[in-house]
Homo-oligomer: A and B are copies of this chain.
């Protein structure tokens, strides 16, 4: 990266391709697996100033800075990553990689299947969060890193927990934000509806749509469902209320300002339509299917027998953050993790941040998160 005249820090997407087959939890084997990643800051000589950042469901490796000088927006957590920020690039070497099955560089269903020379589509194997973590471990090994701090929000928090559990010798700190040790049946239900919308799209063509029309309507509906769960009722009230798009409509005489048709009438409808439409331009429907499935399967209690068993061999110090209005991954789910960590005598800090932003808060509430994370990281250094 470098400073530009506009003071934009520039970062480039890097790629690491495995030179061996990669075996998944399902028993399926992937060949030629590529991992796309970005790094921020400088790796020190002892290679122990590393923070591994994990993105959420529809995020990617571009966590901070700009990819080129013409970019209007920086990476998705740019407010948290940089000089003097929560994840301080003056001190730390920060790595973020695109998840297995993604559509932003790491091998996924839109990648070319070396066996057929066509995109995998639904021939891509179902994978788990643990598979995705094992793939990241390949990158970390390649970079020669032996110690790191794992940090992520939402699905990224699942990755962080899995890192601490699967590679206890590597993970000295684990920051889990707006996350859970397993999805509630309600969250699975929302994902099921979203997948159903994609699978039902007339253009889905059993996942083999890369050379034709994309299943945009289904993916857009999936995104709309997602956004309802990312906001909370309070956030929706603050953001939109029951505000109509047009207050000067012809039907005002009847006490209604609606269009009296099936176009979007309310601002909240228009917001969801916009979110759905812009999402289809940047995300692959098959990736959405695979990653939500991995998230549904994630269940530390089920996998290890209990949360106690899951965490008992961890070496990391933990920071668990939840948001008061997050109804997707709730404070009570965060406390389940905290309780299990306390039970296994781990060093754990917990904070519920009061916020009206719902699940989205981990992407919005920078100030409080920064304060808490800086405190946690400075404690870690003093150990």
Chain A positions near chain B (C-beta within 8 angstroms): 25-27, 122, 125-126, 128, 182-186, 188-190, 192-193, 195-197, 199-202, 217-218, 220-221, 224-225, 228, 231-233, 236-237, 239-242, 251, 254-258, 260-262, 264-266, 268-269, 272-273, 276, 289, 293, 296-297, 299, 302-304
Contacts and interface: CB of A to CB of B under 8 A. Distances in A.
Nearest to A224: B193
Contact of A25 (B126, B217, B254, B303): B254
A188 B269 contact: yes
Contacts of A297: 256, 258, 265
Contacts of A218: 200
B200 A242 contact: no
A184 B237 contact: yes
Q: How many copies of this protein are present in the complex?
A: 2
A202 B199 contact: no
Given A233-B184, A260-B26, A302-B242, A269 B217 contact: no
Contact of A189 (B125, B200, B269): B269
Nearest to A257: B302
A268 B237 CA distance: 29
Contact of A188 (B27, B199, B242): B242
Contacts of A264: 192
Contacts of A224: 189, 192-193, 196
B256 A185 contact: no
A242 B299 contact: yes
Contacts of A251: 25-27
Given A185-B233, A189-B268, 13 more contacts: A25-B255, A26-B251, A126-B258, A184-B233, A186-B236, A192-B268, A192-B269, A193-B225, A196-B273, A200-B217, A200-B218, A256-B297, A262-B293
Nearest to A217: B200
Contact of A256 (B25, B217, B237): B25
Closest A-B pairs by Cβ, 6 of them:
A202-B202, A200-B217, A185-B236, A255-B303, A126-B260, A192-B269
Contacts of A220: 196, 200
24 contacts: A25-B254, A25-B255, A26-B251, A182-B242, A184-B236, A185-B236, A188-B242, A188-B266, A188-B269, A189-B268, A189-B269, A192-B266, A192-B272, A193-B272, A195-B262, A196-B276, A200-B217, A202-B202, A255-B303, A257-B302, A258-B293, A258-B297, A265-B296, A266-B296
